[in-house]
Amino acid sequence: MTAMTLGVLRETAPGERRVALVPDLVHTLDALGVAVLVERGAGAGALFHDEAYAAAGAGVVSRAEILRHADLLVGVQAPHLGPTHRYRPGQLLVAMVASALTPFQLWQWADQGVTAIGLDLVPDTLGAGYPMDALASQARISGYRAVLIAAERLRRCLPPWGSTETTFEPVRALVVGAGPAGLQAVDTARRLGALVHAHELRRRARVEVAELGGTLLDLPGLRPVDDAAGLARALDSELAELRQGLADVLPRFDIVIAALDPPGRPAPMVLTTEAVQAMRPGSVVVDLTSGTSGTSGGNVQCAAPGILTLVGDALSVIGAGNLPAQAPVTASTAYAHNVSALLHHLKRSGPLTIDLSDPVQAAIVVTHHGSVLKRPTGQLLLGATAGAGPG
């Protein structure tokens, strides 16, 4: 079997502790004919040390050596090489690229002849793509962590503590949006003892909420929809109704997890500061969408990424930031399985092949043969060029 070389890049984003491949999966790539090089210190933040990679059969080398020898580069976040390093034409780059939000970087990749694949771009409608869906795998960790953060900040215990003499009122949690993060939040909060409601319009997700033991919260004037496209239309036409409906019910809840992050568009602001201030004293709101659209915006008007804001009567609003990096062992392992699944998919017929007639690849390949392929990115590139004017 002809060997190709995969290089694991060390993450450089502030606070990022994940790594794109874990030692336990090196052998699975070796079976595919893929040799592994790991940048020194790449796994240290997730407690995967260089010695573990070497024992698993990977080479531990410098970034320069990886860029010189690797056919395939993998990272968690889109790497920034800086002025001293450059990709080679024909290299394949795999990361969570947030393609519609990094147009100039994608332009540079295309100009350098790099084929870039975004593991955060797998549509949830493609069953064959599910094992590669890094956005979902990392979002589930975010949903889990969000509930733990809220429970720690709340000045009450989530389980319904009580005795024959005294009965405590149970903690009530509301999850807004039941994508992967929201569903995990529903499950985690329920297992910790909260009474959990969820607002979700997509029919398939509504079924999953019920299967996890959550109670569906329906709001006046908002009807269930079939898919993400229907959700987008509902948000365009009925956003005011959604904001008002949520404002009316927020005072019933002690914990709110905001996780309404429709694919392919910025997360809508659905919880106003005024609505949040009307909640019970000591309540906690965690906005999982804060900063996900490349700005400080998200579902909660008064949330900022990675920041705790106090409003009202001791009411905590937390912009989640990069929660998967706070559980780097689990997050890295999940992401590494996404990478492994992608390589098995690309090499399922022999040599690694980019085939844009494959629905999965058509969805996740963003640059190839010198072109930017994703339409939203192309539109941003054109807009940015027009705004810049002549050089």
Band (pLDDT 50/70/90 cuts) for residue 169 is confident
| Residues spanned by the domain of 18 | 4-131+327-388
Q: Give domain status of residue 60, yes or no.
A: yes
190 and 221 share a domain? yes
Q: Report CA 31 to chain centroid distance, whole Å.
A: 29
Q: What's the rounded mean pLDDT across residues 91-105? A: 81
33 and 99 share a domain? yes
pLDDT score for 383: 46
Give the C-alpha distances (Å, rounded to integers) separating 206 from 169, 210, 267: 27, 6, 19
Whether the predicted pLDDT of 111 surpasses 80: yes
Nearest to 107, CA basis, from 347, 373, 386: 373
Q: Give domain status of residue 137, yes or no.
A: no
344 and 315 share a domain? no
Q: How far apart are CA 331 and CA 45, in angstroms?
A: 12
- Coil, strand, or helix at residue 221? coil
pLDDT score for 99: 57
Q: How far apart are CA 387 and CA 1, in angstroms?
A: 49
Domain end residue (candidates: 284, 299, 321): 321
Give per-residue pLDDT as tens, 246-284. 999 999 999 999 999 988 788 999 999 999 999 999 999
330: tokens are: 């689990």
DSSP 27: H
Q: Give domain status of residue 136, yes or no.
A: no
225 and 363 share a domain? no
- Coil, strand, or helix at residue 140? helix
Structural domain count, the chain: 2
Whether the predicted pLDDT of 9 surpasses 60: yes
pLDDT score for 376: 46
109 in Cβ contact with 87 (< 8 Å): yes
Q: How far apart are CA 138 and CA 321, in angstroms?
A: 12
Domain end residue (candidates: 321, 346, 371): 321
160 and 118 share a domain? no
For residue 42, the one-letter residue type is A
pLDDT score for 107: 85
Q: How far apart are CA 354 and CA 366, in angstroms?
A: 12
Domain end residue (candidates: 275, 302, 321): 321
pLDDT score for 379: 45
Band (pLDDT 50/70/90 cuts) for residue 166 is low
284 and 364 share a domain? no
